[in-house]
Amino acid sequence: DVVMTQSPLSLPVTLGQPASISCRSSQSLVHSDGNTYLSWFQQRPGQSPRRLIYKVSNWDSGVPDRFSGSGSGTDFTLKISRVEAEDVGVYYCMQATHWPWTFGQGTRVEI
Amino acid sequence: DVELVESGGGLVQPGGSLRLSCVVSGFTFSSYWMSWVRQAPGKGLEYVATIKVDGSEKYYVDSVKGRFTISRDNAKNSLYLQLNSLRVEDTALYYCATAVRGSRFDYWGQGALVTVSS
Name the pLDDT band for A99 (thresholds 50, 70, 90): very high
* CB < 8 Å to A41, chain B: 45
pLDDT above 70: percentage of residues in chain A: 100
Q: Among A48, A94, A103, whose Cβ lies nearest the Cβ of B110? A: A48
Please provide the DSSP assignment of chain A as one string: ---EEEE-SEEE--TTS-EEEEEEESS--B-TTS-B-EEEEEE-TTS--EEEEETTTEEPTT--TTEEEEEETTEEEEEESS--GGG-EEEEEEE-SSSSPEE---EEEE-
Distance from CA of B73 to the nearest CA of A (A): 23
| Chain B, nearest residue to A52 by Cα | B106
pLDDT of residue A98: 95
| Chain B, nearest residue to A55 by Cα | B102
pLDDT of residue B37: 98
Residue B102 predicted with pLDDT over 90: no
Q: Among B44, B62, B111, whose Cβ lies nearest the Cβ of A106? A: B44
Residue A71 predicted with pLDDT over 90: yes
Which has the closest alpha carbon to A76: A108, A99, A60, A53? A53
β-pairing, A58-59 vs A4-7, is unpaired
* CB < 8 Å to B46, chain A: 103
Mean pLDDT of A10-26: 96
pLDDT 10s digits, B20-71 = 999 999 999 999 999 999 999 999 999 999 999 999 999 999 999 999 999 9
